[in-house]
Structure formats: structure tokens, C-alpha cells
Amino acid sequence: MNLRRVQLPVSSSDSFACPAASRVALGLSRRLTLLQHVVERQYPVALALDIVNRDAVDAVPPELATALEALSHEAVFNAARHAAAAFMRLSLQVNGGTVLLSVEDDGKGFPFAGVYDLDALQALDVGPLRLMERVAAWGGSLVLVSRATGTRIDIALLRDASHATRLDPTQKAA
């Protein structure tokens, strides 16, 4: 019997410390479950995971899985640190050739209210800069909804990054 031992991370700083090959072997859905445990240990917040079709999520290309893990990490820890959120929901699904990631929280929101896409956020020079940079680098799209009672960030990335173009993160499955 071939058993493999995986050390679970104990803090946000070491959640990415295990070798990339070990994280990839876990599959993206399991890596997001580990992220859930880490953030809930470090902050007084509950994080619900809504992963639609785990098999499809775990089958995304490794580079995209790593990018989605980093985007999820950034969004979740931003909400926990800066928004004082008590509850967050991370949703992830694959719709055909598009991967949709949504992170919503009940925190204090951004200092601005409304619905903003990536272009508007960049033009106004506001919003979660690192998330915006990562999404733009993947040719994806981002929509941020900010209100006094929380924030929702919707991100859409193409499953096949070689055909990266701007996407609408609010699109529904065909």
C-alpha cells in the first residue's frame, strides 16, 4: 500500500509553504478546504465553500488552479483583515470553458459603493490591487459590488489560458 503524508498548514504564512507539487496533488477543491480551515483558525470568521462539480474544478490545468488558489487566498484574507467580516462565501464552478470564482462577505465594504468592473476600478485607481493585477494578467474579468454591508467580487477566467480574453463574470451556464 502506497500512503502519502501531507502536512496541513497552520497559518496563512505557511499555507503556501508546502511544495507546489504537493499542493497540486491535493486538487484545487481540497486546497480551498485547507484555506477555509486556515482563515477560520486565524480570524473570527466563518467561510462557507460552494464548489460546484468538484471533479471539474479539480480538473482545471495546474497553472490555472494555482492562480485560482492565489486569487481565493487574497480575496478571503483581504475580507478577514480589512473588512472585519464575520461570514464569507467562496463559490467556484466551471461552466464550459470558463471558471467562475465569487467571494462575498458581510464586512464593512470598500470606502466607495456601487458596481465596478475591472476597467472602472483601474481607471479610478481603487479596489483590491493585487486581485485586479492577477485577473488582468490572466485576461479575465472582475466585477466588484461594494456596499456598506459587505462586498462581492466575481471573477471569470478562461479554463484554457492560451485563449485569454475579457470575460463577463456574471455569465450563466449555457
Residue 53: which region, alpha, beta or left (left: phi > 0; alpha: psi -120 to 50)?
Answer: left
Q: Is residue 41 included in any domain, yes or no?
A: yes
Share of the chain above pLDDT 70, in %: 78
- Range of lowest pLDDT (18-27, 50-59, 97-106): 18-27
Q: Is residue 18 included in any domain, yes or no?
A: yes
**Residue 135: which CATH number?**
3.30.565.10
Asked whether residue 8 carries a pLDDT value surpassing 60, the answer given is no
pLDDT of residue 18: 53
Domain that includes residue 53, residue range: 12-163
Q: Is residue 109 included in any domain, yes or no?
A: yes
Counting the structural domains of the chain, the total is 1
Rounded to two decimals, the pTM is 0.80
pLDDT of residue 36: 97
Q: Is residue 144 included in any domain, yes or no?
A: yes
Q: Is residue 174 included in any domain, yes or no?
A: no
pLDDT of residue 13: 41
